[in-house]
Amino acid sequence: MITDPTRQRALRGHTPARPTPRAASSADHLAMLARRLTPRDRWICRMLWEHRVLTSHQITALAFPSFRSGRQRLRELHGWGVVDRFRPLVATGTAPMHYVLAPAGATVLAAENGVDVKDFGYRHERAFGIAHSLRLAHTVGVNEWFTALVDRARHPLPGEDVALTAWWSETRCARHFGDMVKPDGYGRWRADDRQVEWFLEYDLGTESLPKVAGKITGYAALAQATGITTPLLVWLLTAQREANARKLIHRVWLDLDTPGQVPIATAAADLLDPQAIRPSPADEVWLPLNTAGSTRRSLSGLCDAWPHVRPPTATDSDVAPLSALTLPPPPMPPPPASSGPEQAQRSR
């Protein structure tokens, strides 16, 4: 033992090597994935392609019954080269694992859409580049905002029927509306027989408030050009910043030719109830710009504040395809597979 000690690596169990990008697109590897990937796995790939990066906690809240089952499945997908991951440095504590689409996952999505990976537009280094982007915190924050809505819909209150029916990424919004505005996201929420849609401006406090307020003119131009009145939700971190922002936003809003074409509501993250089991933007934290008083409304309750706004009727399929993935993935995950014990085991 003294002259020939056991190496530490010899005490470890065998860890199978991840496939190289070339091996990940091979016929043998794709054949293996064809029998192992569930509809939920493919949905996760589409979500990562649409929204660029999701944390382990977000993916679990979106699609799994527990963090343990989600972590186990993500470990398998990572081992197969379907997803990639990184952990950013934080000042205190440990950041959750962040996941992006890997070459094997991109190859599967490209095959589903009948295109080559090159035509699909995927590049591994670009997908991983989000790890060093100065907008990483903003992108993760926006995705957390929408994830909270999905988690809320997956665990409704007794007798409640709610769902997030649309979730567009910043990139998709830029392709459709980028010549006038660049929203941080677009969404639609249904609560019983009520529906509301919106553009989201997610503020982390890195922009000056006059710049945030100045974006209102772009949304007014978009409403004028399209003839569609779409509410704008402005999410800020603190109630104090919200109060300051509302003064500037209200000033710009009143100067518009037709302010009613741009319904606006604001909310702050610190207004969420920390004791709630699943606090989300669906809660009563929204304060419309055009109403007097300080009565906060729920997301669906904003319909009462804007009776002139017609409920959304268009679906994602009504939008002309502009990319290889013509439609955004549905925000709600597919139901767990139940075709046999092997599928049921993988779905847990």
Tens digits of residue pLDDT in 100-147: 999 999 999 999 988 888 888 899 999 999 999 999 999 999 999 999
For residues 149 and 317, the model is more confident at: 149
Mapped onto helix, strand or coil, the DSSP state of residue 100 is strand
18 band by pLDDT with thresholds 50, 70 and 90: confident
Q: What is the CATH number of the domain that holds 43?
A: 1.10.10.10
pLDDT of residue 318: 44
Same domain, 23 and 114: yes
**With 50 as the cut, is the pLDDT of residue 347 above it?**
no
pLDDT (average), residues 46-61: 97
- Domain annotation covers residue 123: yes
Provide the domain count of the chain.
Answer: 2
Same domain, 124 and 142: no
pLDDT (average), residues 70-94: 95
- Weakest-pLDDT range from 41-50, 177-186, 312-321: 312-321
Quote the mean pLDDT of the chain. 89
**With 90 as the cut, is the pLDDT of residue 15 above it?**
no
Same domain, 19 and 40: yes
pLDDT of residue 98: 98
- State pLDDT tens for residues 219-257: 999 999 999 999 999 999 999 999 999 999 999 999 999
Give the residue among 119, 124, 112 at the shortest CA–CA distance from 30.
112
- Domain annotation covers residue 345: no
321 band by pLDDT with thresholds 50, 70 and 90: very low
pLDDT of residue 320: 40
Of 115, 133, 151, which residue sits at a domain end?
A: 133
**With 50 as the cut, is the pLDDT of residue 342 above it?**
no
Same domain, 234 and 184: yes
31 band by pLDDT with thresholds 50, 70 and 90: very high
What does DSSP say about strands 194-202 and 232-236: parallel, antiparallel, or unpaired? Answer: parallel
What does DSSP say about strands 98-101 and 54-55: parallel, antiparallel, or unpaired? Answer: antiparallel
Q: Per the structure block, which two tokens stand in for 124?
A: 């591994």
d(CA 301, CA 316): 24
186 band by pLDDT with thresholds 50, 70 and 90: very high
% of the chain residues with pLDDT over 90: 74
d(CA 240, CA 238): 5
For residues 217 and 343, the model is more confident at: 217
312 band by pLDDT with thresholds 50, 70 and 90: confident
Same domain, 22 and 117: yes
Residue showing tokens 């710049």: 211
Same domain, 204 and 219: yes
- Domain annotation covers residue 188: yes
What does DSSP say about strands 232-236 and 185-191: parallel, antiparallel, or unpaired? Answer: unpaired
Same domain, 90 and 170: no
pLDDT of residue 119: 86
**With 70 as the cut, is the pLDDT of residue 176 above it?**
yes
- State pLDDT tens for residues 265-281: 999 999 999 899 999 99
Same domain, 220 and 274: yes
What pTM value is reported for the model?
A: 0.89
Same domain, 170 and 204: yes
Same domain, 144 and 217: yes
- Domain annotation covers residue 342: no
Alpha helices in the chain (DSSP H): 21-24, 27-36, 39-51, 56-63, 67-79, 103-112, 117-120, 124-129, 136-154, 170-177, 209-214, 216-226, 239-254, 302-305, 341-347
The b-or-e profile of 260-274 (16+ CB within 10 A means b, else e) is ebbbbbbbbbebbee
pLDDT of residue 200: 98
For residues 267 and 347, the model is more confident at: 267
Same domain, 154 and 115: no
Range of the domain at 36: 15-133
Same domain, 60 and 161: no
